[in-house]
Amino acid sequence: MTVKLLSDNPIIGIDLGTTNSCAAVVDETGKVQLIPYKDGSFTIPSIYAVNDRGFELIGQEAKRQWQLNPRNTIYAAKRLIGRSPSDDIVDAMRESVAFNLTPGGENEVLIECADRQFRPVDVSAQILNKIRVVASDYLRLPVRRAVVTVPAYFNDRQRQAVKEAGMLIDLDVVRVINEPTAAALAYGLNKSFSGNILIYDLGGGTFDVSVVSVRAGNIFEVKSTGGDIFLGGIDFDNVLIRAVLRDFVEKHAIDLADDPVAMQRIRDMAERVKIDLSSRAEASFNLPFVTIDQSGLPLNIDMRLTRRDLDTLMAPLVNRTLDICERVLAESGLRAEELDEILLIGGQTRMPHVQDRLTAFFGKAPAKGINPDEAVAIGAALYAQTLQEDSPVKLQLLDVIPMAIGIERADGQMHVVFPRNSPTPNAKSLITTTSRDGQTSLCMRIYQGDQARARQNELLGEFLFSGIPPAKARSPKVQLTFQVNIEGVLSMSAQDLATGKRMETRVKIGAK
Ligand SMILES: Nc1ncnc2c1ncn2[C@@H]1O[C@H](COP(=O)(O)OP(=O)(O)OP(=O)(O)O)[C@@H](O)[C@H]1O
Ligand SMILES: [Mg+2]
């Protein structure tokens, strides 16, 4: 069956996930169609590998061989996109993956795979390309445009990197939108729904929470958002893996952490047991012949776990999500009783403990009938439809920026231009001047984050404005205008108020 579309140049919606990706498109009747992958599944593993014969494998093929080829199988690249090598998160990631991470130019991390070096954005580009190929085959037309979702808690640099990933494969990322916002659209767009929704999105790699107020099914206003881009199902797996390694050390005095093949098998089994315990009260963690002891005898991992054991292990991670929920709810200005729906998105929300804790926390059970794996792609497709030429669907969407954006003052403090949760699109101007006689250019550093000291935040770039006529210190008046578009992406311009001349803007992204 072919899906009939209104346009032969459609914009599809893509949920580019840490562990799984999903794509959808709106057909000519206005219905959302998920793009099927293999075996009727709608999700594509976000995994890239190079096998021992030098062939690239992406998606299911890459996942199938990752136990045997852990060093050359890249997963969770989304966790590294737009990040500095000096980031603590990169060190934490290094401990849990089998591939090597090294610092690269442009303040980026490089991933080593099959004697080559990849930027995280290259890997994301390959995964996007795979999704595009699957979608083009299914729709029987070339797909050139997409709306791609990102965690709400992504900063400007990470958003730009996703757009760049599209550019690398000639896919026009017409817009990036926030994952929880997309889920809200999937829930409420065109359904004459009015009310306040809280979206709790716990996926493979990231946690996001947003409070969205919906009016008449087509006005969506994000009130507040927050999250942790290093908190997801992978971290739940890591907690279980550490418990298994500890148990093995106690029993056999052998640390398996240095054995990449054993670790890969443990990682796979940890995820499987975790998922099993979402539907069963008990599960066994069995891995035969995981290593050998000093006398050459094979050793097995043989543990039994109850759901309660798992809940105890994972409670601290769930607590972290609830702390963030509490803050985001307070910042939305709403009380828990004013929330009409709680939406659970992301595979990790299938864990009963997560659902129970949320029900207790909000005093209300989460909404039923939403597929946590598909809602984000569905929302992205619905949003894409509103951007399509002559779209019949009208949507008014106001989102927010997840962290403050500002400039570094002379004393090193952050001068906040847009506070956290400022609505987007947005623009702000400020007047600045020179500090030396004859100074013809101004240089400033733009940061994003909520720390008081600028340098503790993420450096978005260094901006150099030149062409100021020479004059006495502090006499020129330069107006800087900062704009954040609906995507949460920043742009800047400057104007010399004396001459009226708009000034040249030079941007050095990621300089440090
Ligand atoms: N039944 C289940 N019980 C517990 N966890 C599950 C279950 N099913 C899937 N998961 C976990 O959900 C995670 C994947 O979720 P999902 O596909 O929503 O993430 P993603 O979209 O790839 O990541 P992100 O949104 O963070 O970028 C994995 O860690 C997986 O182990
Ligand atoms: Mg997701």
Q: Looking at residue 504, what is its pLDDT?
A: 61
Distance 436 CA to ligand 1 centre (A): 55
Per-residue model confidence (pLDDT) at position 503: 66
Partners of 175 in the beta sheet? 147
11-231+319-399 and 401-509: same fold?
A: no
What pLDDT does residue 229 have? 85
Q: Select the CATH number that applies to the domain covering 11-231+319-399 from these four: 3.30.420.40, 3.40.50.300, 3.40.640.10, 1.10.260.40.
A: 3.30.420.40
Q: Are 11 and 385 in contact (CB under 8 A)?
A: yes
Q: Which of 107, 121, 195, 208 is nearest to 158 (CA)?
A: 121
Give pLDDT, residue 393: 86
C-alpha 203 to ligand 2 mean position (Å): 5
Q: Ligand 1 pocket by C-beta < 6 Å: which residues?
A: 17-20, 78, 203-206, 232-234, 271, 274-275, 278, 346-348, 350-351, 373
**CATH assignment, 233-312:** 3.90.640.10
| CB of 463 closer than 8 Å to CB of 503 | no
Where do runs of H (alpha helix) occur along 140-259?
A: 156-168, 179-188, 233-252
179 is catalytic: yes
Catalytic option among 122, 164, 179, 373: 179
Residues 6+ positions from 437 with CB-CB distance below 8 Å: 470, 471, 472, 473
Q: Is 15 a catalytic residue?
A: yes
pLDDT the model gives residue 389: 87
Task: Using DSSP, state whether 283 is helix, strand or coil.
Answer: strand
C-alpha 36/C-alpha 442 separation (Å) is 52
Q: Which amino acid is at 296?
A: G
Low-confidence residues in the chain, pLDDT < 70: 1, 503-512
Q: Please write down the HEC assignment for all residues of 114-156.
A: CCEEECHHHHHHHHHHHHHHHHHHHHCCCCCEEEEEECCCCCH
Q: Of 15, 108, 373, 399, which residue is the catalytic one?
A: 15
Looking at the CA of 20, name the nearest ligand.
Answer: 1
**Which tens digits make up the pLDDT trace of 191-250?**
889 999 999 999 999 999 999 999 998 999 999 999 998 899 999 999 999 999 999 999
The pLDDT of residue 40 is 87
**C-alpha distance from residue 244 to each of 250, 304, 372 (Å):** 10, 11, 28
Choose among 287, 290, 293: nearest CA to 259. 290
**Of 228, 237, 264, which Cα lies nearest the Cα of 79?**
228
Please, what CATH class does the domain formed by 401-509 belong to? mainly beta
415 close to 408: Cβ distance less than 8 angstroms? yes
Which of 14, 20, 149 gets mutated to test ligand 1 (max ligand atoms within 8 A of its CB)?
20
Written as six digits, the tokens of 296 are 């050459």
pLDDT score, position 100: 93
Domain locations along the chain: 11-231+319-399, 233-312, 401-509
Q: What is the pTM of this model?
A: 0.94
